[in-house]
Every structure is written in structure tokens, then in C-alpha cells.
Amino acid sequence: MEDCIFCKIINREVPGDIVYEDDEIIAFRDIHPCAPVHILVIPKKHISSLIDITEEDEKVIGKIYGVINKIAQKEGILDKGYRVIINCGEDGGQVVKHIHFHLLGGKKMGVKVC
């Protein structure tokens, strides 16, 4: 996708603080972190939103959760726990239209999710 900022990070057209990469998935630090650890985990395939996943995307979406655990371990937040957020569509507050999993940790978060 030409105008997608996250595709540009994948293609090294825009710099990103990349913490994980394999053939299907990449993860980089959020530019405006709201927790001591705030990492965005994304499939390299441009999928606009969780709303748009197809059956063929389900494998990589599932794999992302395993990658999240690997990153959490590396970041030292696996034992105490973390939060994963996927903003989805307009009411979900999604700004960047390339599906992304926010991995948040390193501080105690509130019990409320909204």
C-alpha cells in the first residue's frame, strides 16, 4: 500500500525502531508510547483492519500472539503481564489503517478497558 506509514516502515522507506522481524511479521516501538513498553506488532501483509481479515489471514493473526509473548519475554514484561489492544474501525479509534496489535506493559494498568 503506497500511502501506508506501516508499509513504509516494513519497506525501510521510513525509520522504525524494529524489535522483531520474520518473513510475515514485524514489530517496532510506538512513536508516542503510552507505557514503558509500547510496541506495535503487525503482519507484513497490508490488512486494513481486524474487520478485513480473511480466512487466509487467520494463520498469521494467530502467529502474532506467539510473537507477542516472545517480545514480552525479551522486554522483561512476561512475568508481570501486559495488555494487548487492537483498535478497529472508526468507533474503535483506529487511526492507522494497517492492522496492528498494541503491546503495552511495564506499568500496572487500570482494570477498566474503556
Q: Which stretch binds ligand 5GP (CB under 6 A): 54-62, 65-73, 91-99, 106-114?
A: 91-99
Alpha-carbon torsion, ordered 54, 59, 61, 65, to 10 deg: 160
Q: Is 81 exposed, middle or buried (0-12, 13-18, 19+ CB in 10 A)?
A: exposed
Show the site string, 38-77: x = touches Zn ion by CB under 5 A, - = not: --------x-------------------------------
To ligand 5GP, the closest distance from the beta carbon of 74 in angstroms equals 18
Closest distance to ligand 5GP from the beta carbon of 6 (Å): 8
Cell of 71: 517480545
Beta bridge partners of 28: 18, 40
| Residue span binding Zn ion (CB under 5 A) among the ranges 16-24, 32-40, 78-86, 93-101 | 93-101
